[in-house]
Structure 1
């Protein structure tokens, strides 16, 4: 296994950037309506964002079914780029990983690429040391396809910290009722 890195919270965002529109849309949380008018973290800085993040909650998506122990490590590649190393455990107990890269394209927005296919990663809020609230949305006709990830630095965060991270989604009009809790435990196969 290669050493890890930075960005989208899964070995799975690869589905978001899967090449064809049909495949891209199939992996997201789908609902009627328009994408909310979100506010990205205007003063986002990628440097303190580097390091390990644990996925605590997310929208369910086809490419993450049965996955737990989701983890991302972000590391500096130089020239403004960050390596994104996502890992997870599958429902069969196998270790899954994906490596990509990202760079800031506007305040609070990173362009993440796995296999050459780009996707936007909107950081709604982060304090860099404890939590990050990340979102992506795409509209097609009357429907919207969404990704959302609540990430923390701690494997076992406090309820207060989770509430703070969840508030960033609520403040942006993002429905929290469909969030899925991601298992993180002592038996998870994390990279060192």
Structure 2
């Protein structure tokens, strides 16, 4: 009876104790013991480490230098720099100054005359005009027979062939008064345009300037000069025919009539000068 009661007490004490589970400390102790064990063999690191270096790094550096850098420097100097300097001086500077005046100014005047005025829009000026060849003495042999042109006659124009420091040329005009017969002289300067066949005159003791357009000249015999919208003839176009001598051969007159007609300057009565009747006027 006593033995049975003692067994019952032992069973009751065992049931009263909590269940024993592995603690964190005991787990950590177990892992440390396993890692230090000679039989521990990790599975993942041994299979991961050997495959990384041979797949990427070994193939990357060997292909880069032979494909790009070796071919880049050798081709650059012979293709560009050696051919660049030798071709620059002979192809540009030597041909630049000679080609500039003939290629630009001759094509520029045809679009410019219409800006002179509405009445001069049909005028074509002399192309490739040569100022030195135009200088010297000219005689007015004919002019439009406007009343404003009848105040003087026997007009002689002498432009100096020596250029002044400011680029102008001295000009002297002698003429005879139609009413008194007295010879008058005007002194001034002529300033020629750099690109077009025209010049501007300015005379002493006379206010303002006047522009003269050169429609045609052969430099040795005849010239056609136009004053566009000349105030002296009430704002009309005023044409003067000049010659190197006091008379003009008929063969040159034929060319003059044709040029006036081409520029719509014909159809106006012309006054021809009688140089034999001009006082003290000799060639």
TM-score (norm 1): 0.71
Superposed CA deviations along residues 40-68 of structure 1, whole A, max 9, x for unmatched, are: 11211111111111101112344532532
Q: Aligned residue for 2:69?
A: none
Counterpart pick for 1:39 among 124, 128, 140: 124
- 190 and 51 in structure 1: CA distance in 2 versus 1, 3 angstrom threshold: farther
CA distance in 2, matches of 1:103, 1:150: 20
| SS, match of residue 209 in structure 2 | strand
Deviation per residue, 1:135-172 (Å, 9 max, x gap)? 122299xx951211000001122111222233322221
Using the alignment, how far apart are the partners of 1:104 and 1:61 within structure 2?
A: 27
Deviation >6 Å, runs of 4+: none
State the aligned residue count.
Answer: 158
Q: Unpaired runs of 5+ in structure 1?
A: 1-32
> Which has more radius of gyration?
2
- For structure 2, the 5+ residue unaligned runs are 1-117
| Match for residue 90 of structure 1 among 148, 173, 177 | 177
RMSD, aligned CA: 2.6
Native 8 Å contact 2:172 2:186 kept in 1: yes
Q: Which has the higher strand share?
A: 1
User: How many Å separate the matches in 2 of 1:47 and 1:107?
Assistant: 14
Give a deviation string over 1:76-125, Cα, whole Å, max 9, x none. Answer: 34243112211112222210121121122231011122235222111011
Question: Larger % of helix: which?
Answer: 2
Gap change, CA 1:37 and 1:77, over 3 Å in 2? same
Distance in 2, matches of 1:133 and 1:60, equals 15
Residues 70, 89 of structure 1: 8 Å contact kept: yes
The structure with higher relative contact order (CA 8 Å, sep 6+) is 1
- What TM-score do the two structures reach when normalised by structure 2? 0.50
Deviates more, 1:143-152 or 1:43-52: 143-152
Q: What is the distance in 2 between the residues matched to 1:154 and 1:191?
A: 10
Residue aligning to 2:198: 109
